């Protein structure tokens, strides 16, 4: 009976430690909210851009991005969403998703713009979410219009 109680206690402690580690992985020291998203068998730990201020900054001034990370812009409704690469130093794949988290448009290899010329990208579809990943990510994982994001 004593061994059984120790096993149960150890299991409970493990669960609490696991939950603590999982929560720690979803927010960094700056308090930025993160989420684990999936396309098929591919996972990315992305920073969430939910406020207007976070969305306006996006990945500006970021010099590098780990291959399994990115930024997910979350809006309150579906609408036309244009994006531009002002003050962005790394090329990106930008992926627009509808309210059901289905891919409606992909801009592969959006290149950083010079400070004096900043062209916006205007997809024809409405989106509720926009995902930015390292350039080449969508091709590497075989992402296409109609695929569904899970988070």
pLDDT of residue 114: 58
pLDDT in tens, 56-96: 999 999 999 999 999 999 999 999 999 988 889 999 999 99
Taking the domains of the chain in order of start, what are their residue ranges?
A: 1-30, 32-150
Half-sphere exposure of 31 (CA within 13 A, CB side): 1
Residue 43: enclosing H or E segment and its boundaries? strand 42-49
The closest of 83, 35, 91 to 58, measured between CA atoms, is 83
| DSSP secondary structure code for residue 94 in this structure | E
pLDDT (tens digit, 9 = 90+) per residue, 18-52? 333 333 344 443 567 999 999 989 999 999 999 99
Q: In 3D, which of 135, 134, 113, 120 has the Cα closest to residue 81?
A: 120
Handedness of CA 76, 50, 42, 92 (dihedral sign): positive
* pLDDT in the model for residue 52: 94
**Phi and psi torsions of 114, nearest 5°:** -70, 155
**Cβ–Cβ under 8 Å, residues 123 and 11:** no
Q: Look up the CATH number of domain 32-150.
A: 2.60.120.1140
What whole-number distance in Å separates Cα of residue 97 and Cα of residue 128? Answer: 6
Q: What is the pLDDT of residue 40?
A: 86
Rounded to whole angstroms, the Cα distance separating 90 from 135 reads: 8
């Amino acid at each position: 009976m004593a061994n059984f109680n120790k096993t149960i206690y150890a299991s409970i402690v493990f669960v609490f430690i696991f939950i603590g580690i999982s929560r720690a992985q979803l927010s960094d020291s700056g308090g930025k909210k993160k989420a684990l998203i999936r396309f098929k068998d591919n996972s990315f730990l992305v920073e969430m851009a939910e406020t207007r201020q976070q969305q306006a900054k996006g990945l500006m001034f970021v010099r590098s991005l780990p291959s399994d990370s990115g930024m997910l812009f979350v809006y309150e409704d579906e609408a036309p969403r244009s994006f531009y690469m002002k003050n962005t130093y790394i090329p990106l794949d930008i992926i627009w998703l509808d309210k059901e988290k289905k891919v409606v448009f992909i801009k592969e290899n959006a290149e950083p713009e010079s400070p004096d010329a900043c062209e916006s990208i205007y997809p024809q579809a409405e989106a509720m979410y926009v995902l930015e990943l390292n350039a080449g990510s969508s091709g590497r994982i075989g992402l296409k219009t109609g695929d569904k994001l899970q988070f």
